[in-house]
Amino acid sequence: MSSPNPSAPDSRTAILGRLRAAGDSGPLPALDTAVLERRQWDPAERVTRLRKGMEAVHTEFLDAKSDTWPAVIRVFCEREGLKNLLYGPTSEAGSALAAAWAPEGPQLKPYDRPVEAFKQELFGDIDAGFTGTVGGVAETGGLLLMPGPAEPRLMSLVPPVHIALLRASTIQDSFWSAVKALGWGRALPPNALMISGPSKTADIEQTLAYGVHGPKRLIVVLVDDLK
């Protein structure tokens, strides 16, 4: 049996070589974005469309103002019997929440350690997680999140209830509009999420279940900051 030729390129090298060669063929043709930009609404209509789309998949909304949203979250936690709320102490939304939070009642739990240091507490004792958002999409109904060190992905994934802060002024017409507004066409973020509702899945008999692969409830705190 003949031995393989060590000088022959493997399939991976050959594929990468062809891709590099194709990349030298010149600039890509200009993209016609007219069809992507045709859906445009006024700010109030964006709010209505996003809310309608997300409520259709069991997302819940809490209405708030720029100066009342921490109190709205607190009232919700007390009403639902949540004993604690996970938050990012160094994020803009998290620090604002902590500054307005009273010491009695539901306890704020900072995400300030590596996950290995409080894995048992995170997966077993946290009632809800709070995060900010970087915007929303009116056309399809969804929140845009950019998890990072200040608000890791696990904050919106592990707790059974995810509370997300959304400012009405950051809702974009479409995902294409959001990509432009957030500058993702120039540089993609390391991590980005679009969330439309609570986690749901169906078995082979099409029985829908919530909370199997993520939060069972998604609560959007919608801040009316439109002028």
For domain 42-223, give the CATH superfamily: NagB/RpiA/CoA transferase-like (3.40.50.10420)
Q: Confidence band (pLDDT; 50, 70, 90) for 28? A: very low
Q: Determine how β-strand 171-172 pairs with β-strand 208-210.
A: unpaired
Sign of the C-alpha dihedral computed for residues 170, 174, 179 and 181 taken in this order: negative
* For residue 20, pLDDT beyond 60: yes
- Name the more confident of 38 and 172: 172
How far apart are the C-alpha atoms of 130 and 7, rounded to whole Å? 55
Average pLDDT over residues 114-123: 92
Instruction: Quickly tell me which residue has 């970087």 as its tokens.
Output: 134
Give the pLDDT of residue 37.
65
* DSSP labels, 135-198: EEETTTTEEEE---SSS-THHHHSSSEEEEEEEGGGEESSHHHHHHHTTTTTS--S--EEE-SS
Give how far Cα 41 sits from Cα of 30, 34, 48, 171, Å: 26, 15, 10, 11
Closest CA to 162 of 201, 202, 124, 133: 133
How far apart are the C-alpha atoms of 55 and 46, rounded to whole Å? 14
Rounded to a whole number, what is the largest CA-CA distance in the chain? Answer: 78
* For residue 50, pLDDT beyond 50: yes
For the ranges 22-31, 85-94, 125-134, 169-178, the lowest mean pLDDT is seen at 22-31
